[in-house]
Structure 1
Amino acid sequence: MLISALNWLLFCGYCFLIYLLVQKTASVHISATEFFHGESREGNPPGLWLLISSAAISWIFAKSIDNAASLAAAFGITGGIGYAIYYLSFLVAAIAIYFLRVKGGYSSLSSFLVDKYGIVCAKLFLIAIAIRLFNEVWSNTKVFSLYFGAEGTAEYWFAAIAFTIFTLVYTLKGGLRSSLLTDSAQMLLAGLLLAIILTALFPHFILNGFPVVSQETERAGLTFCGLALVQIFSYPFHDPVLTDRAFITSPLKMLKGFTLAGIISGLFILLFSIVGLYSLNFSLSGKPTLAVPIVLGLPFLLVFNGIMLTSAGSTLDSTFSSVAKLTARDWHNQYGQPTSSQTFFGQKAMIATAILGNLPLLSIYLGDRVGPAIILATTISGTMVMGLAPIFLLSFMPTARELSFHLAFWPGLILGILRVLENALATNIFPAWIAIGEGQYAIDLGLNVYGLALCTLGYLIGAFLFRQRSLV
């Protein structure tokens, strides 16, 4: 009873803090430019440090924190390093988008895709990232709500609903501007809470050292590192929470901001993976983010709850603002000055996403096989979008057009879907020879290496065939 009361007191305190921060936008009629572009009331774009803090905390997902700790518990320090490698995505996205903006003058990824590959290809891309946004809702509310009660309990459901409604309300009012304003405070709060956790855990490692894993486990962890290193060339482009922020400041400021944000958020994830190492040292069962605070005591349970709350909140409000932009502007190829009607349309899309995005949480009632299968089926993984790497990184090729897009996009999507089905049905679809490395991610690494090569080859063939057709 005491733990529950303190958790809800923490949640109310968080809500009050965020409420105070968004008063600048919630108390007045916000302009469409503020809503979609995150500009100040005076029409100024976000400053460098606001961009850095927003981009960094928006990628420190609650599920990412949970995954980093779990991977460290499974593979040792290589698990944490592997997950931190994903944050090199910031640098990949920053460089690619910098040249798209400077050389092409594009205002969004969708405007580039329409111009380069055509409207059909742009729509396919937007559908893929829409599924990604849908996935962000339930996956973050679930991680947070588990601190209030076991999955399926009344406390769990009430926390999920209250958290979603509160985040939705203030994002409806201010859109991207509200998201940016709250992100800066959420970043500071998350950093403070991480410092408290590290202060508690580091003395243990100073005295006892980091856990030693078997060579087999270490090689499995290195395999995961390889998988992350391959996926960073495609992964950032299907996350509008990241890429939307690449167009709200000048190209040079964006390049600087994304580079620093990648360093900060990657370091945050690496340091938080120490929670998993602590769990591994003591052979704790269950998720490290739940097991470790129980061992440390009630105060640390609240600290862990707080860090999940801030990270999930920053991701969820960014998700809602990206949904508004995707549905009201990108899908309809609206790249001029935002309008109030677009704001209203985007707000309706936010509400729909808040409701539909939490439906996968109901899969707990569908059985052990059906529930996970539904969740896997709604996830656009890094494997599924491997074809985005050549689509964006080789876009400088003048003869790469619609055919190149399709020959890169579809092979990756098909391979990714087959991999999801393989996991969901617990059957073998891919032959053993495709594996590279060892452990549970060996198939994934092989699939991504060979699949990326296939997607790139398809892209180049499409460019060659277009060139040949143009010469005839």
Structure 2
Amino acid sequence: MEQSLAIVVGLIAVLSLLLSPKAKSDGAFFKGLSPSGEQPGLLVLVFSQVTTWIFARSLLNAAILGFYYGIWGTLAYAAYYLSFLTGAKIIDSVRFRYGFSSVQAFLDDRFGAWGTRCYNFVIGIRLVSEIFANILVIGILFGVSGSSAYIFAVLAFAVVTLIYSMLGGLHASLRTDLMQMVLFIVVLVLLTVLVINSGNVTIENLLFKPFDISDPGPILMLVALLQVWSYPMHDPVMMDRGFLADRDTTRKSFLHAAWISIICIILFGLLGVIAGAQAESGEAMNAALLRILGDVPMLLFNITLVVSAMSTLDSTLSSSSKLVAVDMKWVDPNVRNGRSIMALFMLIGLLCVFLGNKDLFSAVAVSGTASMYLAPVIFFSLWGGKTNIPVWSYLATFVLAISGAILYFTESAGHTQLLGEYHKYTKLLFISSAIMIFGCLLFWLGSLKSTPESSMEALT
């Protein structure tokens, strides 16, 4: 099966290279414009949004959560995809209500340099974690961590994706996303049909874990419903695609991406649920799926992971180059610098693969927890229209969220037990609730004690 998967990966790589025209302008590389200067259409944007947010890591997480916590674990992960709905509202406010060209421009207007510094720090971590996690999934598919097959798969996948990403930048990413999403849908439909025909999709299997609000699945669902308000704003891949087309096309692309993504995640996650319902004692998810479904469905299962990893990785590299060159303005925003930035981020991601933490969900949870400092920014400054929030409120909320993210990481990894013996998702709910409540309180207090004229005085 590994040989067949390798052939498929090679074919996808060749197609991606063929569909990646060399960028001849900064507009094509950083803004996704066609050679004639045209913006992407609705279908391209929808498919690009979906395939870049259905990461390989996300598919694997949805299945793993279903395996351990039943359908409630999969639904909890699917709840994160409501981010497309809140993301649509965020983009509409930033870009079309206030007229800013980026999230950074909005934060700079409201909170000055500290607004963008904190934000760029969080999304920088987000981008590196995406590169690391999606490469990691590919390595896991081909071998045990540290094996020659694992190392070769990781390096080959990274090099191929980097090459075609460097060729065309965001324009190439949009073109390959379209192809990769079509392939993903075809494979997922085939996989779904095979699983249904296998006779394993039964009510008993799907509900092998009864609903209990205190179980990890429902608890994680509550966490998702808290984090979904701020999660999209800290994802530069999603936000970048909100600045590419006109208002109507942009709004529709987010709305359609929401329901398509949720359906895809649930369908894939149900594979984990089925495996969990029929797994033998001590049996891993992949082993259970292979025993239950056979070689062909498992090959399709792995192909979906490869396609989603590649589509997410090229988009993440494009957003990385835009972050450093366009948004942070550290270098001139030209094609040459954009390609160099991509190579640097890929190198950092590879270092994380070989040296970093292997817990896939930790990266999601830590990233999502850190992003919660943006929730009061959205509620008060963006949607509430308040321009008198002081910088100290913003910074205090940022420190609170980062501290919460670090605490969750140390608690979930077993380094500390400050929150007792609760399950790690229960701890995550405690932390997320505290950040949301106290972050909003800090902004509310700041709005009471400041005037529009004095909002920037604290740190300027």
Tell me if TM exceeds 0.5: yes
Q: Tell me, yes or no, if structure 1 residue 308 matches structure 2 residue 305.
A: yes
Change in 2 beyond 3 A, CA 1:122/1:220: same
Q: Tell me, yes or no, if structure 1 residue 136 matches structure 2 residue 142.
A: no
1:30-179 alignment runs, 5 A limit: 30-179=24-173
Change in 2 beyond 3 A, CA 1:263/1:86: same
Answer yes or no: is the 8 Å Cα contact 1:53–1:187 preserved in 2.
Answer: yes
Answer yes or no: is the 8 Å Cα contact 1:403–1:463 preserved in 2.
Answer: no
Describe the superposition over 1:80-106 as per-residue Cα deviations: whole angstroms up to 9, x where unpaired. Answer: 111110000111111021011122111
1:71-470 alignment runs, 5 A limit: 71-202=65-196, 203-206=199-202, 210-214=206-210, 216=212, 219-284=215-280, 285=282, 288-289=285-286, 291-293=288-290, 295-332=292-329, 342-363=334-355, 380-395=366-381, 396-430=385-419, 439-467=423-451, 470=454
User: Unaligned 5+ residue runs, structure 1?
Assistant: 365-370
Matches of 1:346 and 1:375 in 2, distance apart? 30
Matches of 2:114 and 2:435 in 1, distance apart? 23
Describe the superposition over 1:429-461 as per-residue Cα deviations: whole angstroms up to 9, x where unpaired. Answer: 2367xx7xxx54112112211221101111122
CA deviation after TM superposition for structure 1 residue 373, in Å: 9.1
CA deviation after TM superposition for structure 1 residue 426, in Å: 3.4
SS at match of 2:242: helix
Corresponding residue for residue 10 of structure 2: 12
**Letter of the 1:463 counterpart:** S
Matches of 2:433 and 2:72 in 1, distance apart? 20
Answer yes or no: is the 8 Å Cα contact 1:40–1:177 preserved in 2.
Answer: yes
SS at match of 2:441: helix
Answer yes or no: is the 8 Å Cα contact 2:369–2:401 preserved in 1.
Answer: yes
Matches of 1:43 and 1:286 in 2, distance apart? 54
Answer yes or no: is the 8 Å Cα contact 2:236–2:319 preserved in 1.
Answer: yes
CA deviation after TM superposition for structure 1 residue 75, in Å: 1.4
Matches of 1:331 and 1:290 in 2, distance apart? 46
Change in 2 beyond 3 A, CA 1:126/1:451: same
Corresponding residue for residue 367 of structure 1: none
Report the TM-score when normalising by structure 1. Answer: 0.89
Matches of 1:56 and 1:81 in 2, distance apart? 17
Answer yes or no: is the 8 Å Cα contact 2:388–2:451 preserved in 1.
Answer: yes
Report the TM-score when normalising by structure 2. Answer: 0.91
Change in 2 beyond 3 A, CA 1:135/1:470: closer
Answer yes or no: is the 8 Å Cα contact 1:78–1:222 preserved in 2.
Answer: yes
- 4+ residue stretches of structure 1 with deviation over 6 A? none
Alpha-carbon RMSD across the aligned residues, in angstroms, is 2.6
Answer yes or no: is the 8 Å Cα contact 1:111–1:333 preserved in 2.
Answer: no
CA deviation after TM superposition for structure 1 residue 294, in Å: 5.3
Change in 2 beyond 3 A, CA 1:418/1:219: closer
Matches of 2:214 and 2:414 in 1, distance apart? 28
Corresponding residue for residue 368 of structure 1: none
User: Unaligned 5+ residue runs, structure 2?
Assistant: none
The farther-off stretch of 316-325 and 234-243 is 234-243
Q: Percent identity?
A: 31
